[in-house]
Amino acid sequence: MIRLIWTEYTNMSRSESSPNGWDPKDARLATPKELAGSHYEEMTRSKEAAMAFLSTADLRICLGAIMVCEQNWQAAREPSVLEACRSLAVSNADDSIRLVALRVLGEALSSSRDRNASKFVAQIVLDSQNSTELRTGAYWVLREIQYGIGDVDFDTHMLGTIHTVKECLKLLPGKFSEETVKSNLLPKGSFPDDFWDSANRIDWEFVHRVYAQ
């Protein structure tokens, strides 16, 4: 079930166009081609061409360039790509753009425990002016930078998985039943009753500890 949901979401994000009826403003639903617009073909001709758009003032085109660098050129760890991710993450863009930039940053630096990146992401989590959705998303990015997708223990790994699944369900409305997914992922009696909802909670002690390092 989880693999099916993730495959559906991944196929959507890498397709040539997003499904009809979905919010075109949500960058999490947009493909690199849709974000990059008329510049997409140029970006896919060479890594250098894609990276040239990382400094554009158009934030959606910039995100398109980041995603092309990540998906087409496997260049997500390049310093200029990481810097573009950081710039978008603290920009005045809508949360969907900031969350995608954070996702790329987290995956690129997974398990690295990069001190500067960790402090940067922790600051986003701690900033009360950011939305709850952005802070929660940044929290799980911070955990990925620190521990990778496996996290520090199985329970926390499961919480991170639930968070990812719940985000995918929001972006795939009507595709899957949340109750069915929940029962498949958390068989009755295997975890506390509130475990599903705990994926939206932030371990503030962890965040402050990383930020203080």
Neighbours of 111 (CB within 10 A): 12
Rounded CA-CA distance 19/29 in Å is: 9
pLDDT at residue 66, as a whole number? 98
- CA 123 vs CA 1, 21, 88, 94, 136: distances in Å: 34, 35, 14, 18, 12
pLDDT at residue 22, as a whole number? 54
**Domain containing residue 14:** 2-212
pLDDT at residue 12, as a whole number? 52
Rounded CA-CA distance 93/100 in Å is: 11
Q: Which of 53, 76, 56 lies closest to 65, judged by CA?
A: 53
pLDDT at residue 93, as a whole number? 93
- CA 140 vs CA 22, 23, 101: distances in Å: 25, 24, 13
Rounded CA-CA distance 85/100 in Å is: 9
- Helix (H) / strand (E) element for 170: namely helix 154-171
The encoded tokens of residue 8 equal 């559906």
Spell out, as residue ranges, where the chain has pLDDT lower than 70: 1-24
Q: Which of 59, 39, 35, 160 lies closest to 107, judged by CA?
A: 160
Residue 40: give its domain's CATH number: 1.25.10
Domains: count for the chain: 1
